[in-house]
Amino acid sequence: QELPTGARVVRANWSDNPWLPPELEQERLDCLRTDPDQYRHIWEGDYATVLTGAYYAASLTAARFEGRIGKVARDPLLPVKAFWDIGLRDATAIWIVQYVGREIRVLDYYEAVRQPLAAHLEWLRSKGYGNAECFLPHDGSQEDAITAIRFEDHIRSAGFDVTTVPNQGKGAALKRVEASRRLFPAFWFNEATCSPGLDALGWYHEKFDEARNIGLGPEHDWSSHGADAFGLISVAYEEPRKPPVYQPRDMSWVV
């Protein structure tokens, strides 16, 4: 909509009001405590990108308030890892990650629909991730219906190191969610390049049977691919080992 002559839009929020009543401040704090899923939409003016009841809603809210969603730089001296969700008939998703101490730095996100494997590998190379170790879900070890070559072998033949993560068994999707929520305080996201992936995490939610009032597990929709690839990060993660503590030998003599 075109603005009237001389008019301009100024974004103003509760934080710009030096006379914010104590009652509204308490209401804001109550919202942050009881409804973190929608806090930024209600009080910060953000678009509603997090669905109420989404698996990662509270984790994303905490990460944003703790400053873990913003600018994250790549360390040129440390290896890069690429975590995949393979979409043969729909979307393929890839998260780019570095482990820096106990921080999991998420540098980039990629998603493409019904594109050949060559397109995904070309994206990795074009972004400077040509030396990334690729982590695939269990179906990475399955043979292609046409070439009879395993997906992991295709990627390996293109010059990448590949690790296929074993199937987590029954309830694998929820196991990935629980592992990721436990590990979420260690995640730092580069928002400029991860925004579509963050949107997927904010939407990934339980499918609900309202008639029986029960959950049916994760809803398989547009957000599933990014969420599944993200879950693979946590399933494959190994905490850095602490260096051994040197204990000097007691060289004293008893006389």
3-class SS at 158?
A: coil
Place of tokens 């006379």: 19
3-class SS at 17?
A: coil
Q: pLDDT value at position 228?
A: 94
Domain ranges of the chain: 69-236
Per-residue pLDDT of the chain (255 residues; tens, 9 = 90+): 566 676 665 566 767 777 778 887 888 888 777 766 667 666 676 644 456 668 998 899 889 889 999 999 999 999 999 999 998 778 999 999 999 999 999 999 999 998 989 999 999 999 999 999 999 998 887 776 667 788 899 999 999 999 999 887 777 888 899 999 999 999 999 999 999 999 999 999 887 766 776 666 778 899 999 999 999 999 999 766 655 555 665 555 555
**Strands 206-209 and 133-136, bridge-based pairing:** unpaired
> CA 108, CA 183: separation in Å to the nearest integer?
18
Cβ atoms 185, 176 nearer than 8 A: no
Q: pLDDT value at position 32?
A: 74
Residues 69, 71, 75, 79, CA torsion sign = positive
Q: What is the CATH number of domain 69-236?
A: 3.30.420.280
Q: pLDDT value at position 195?
A: 95
Q: pLDDT value at position 166?
A: 87
**Gyration radius of the chain over CA positions:** 23
Contacts of 138 (CB under 8 A, 6+ apart): 164, 165, 166, 167
Beta bridge partners of 81: 97, 133
User: Nearest CA to 201 among 81, 38, 50, 45?
Assistant: 50
User: Nearest CA to 176 among 145, 146, 135, 218?
Assistant: 218
Strands of 74-121 (E only): list them: 81-85, 91-100, 103-113
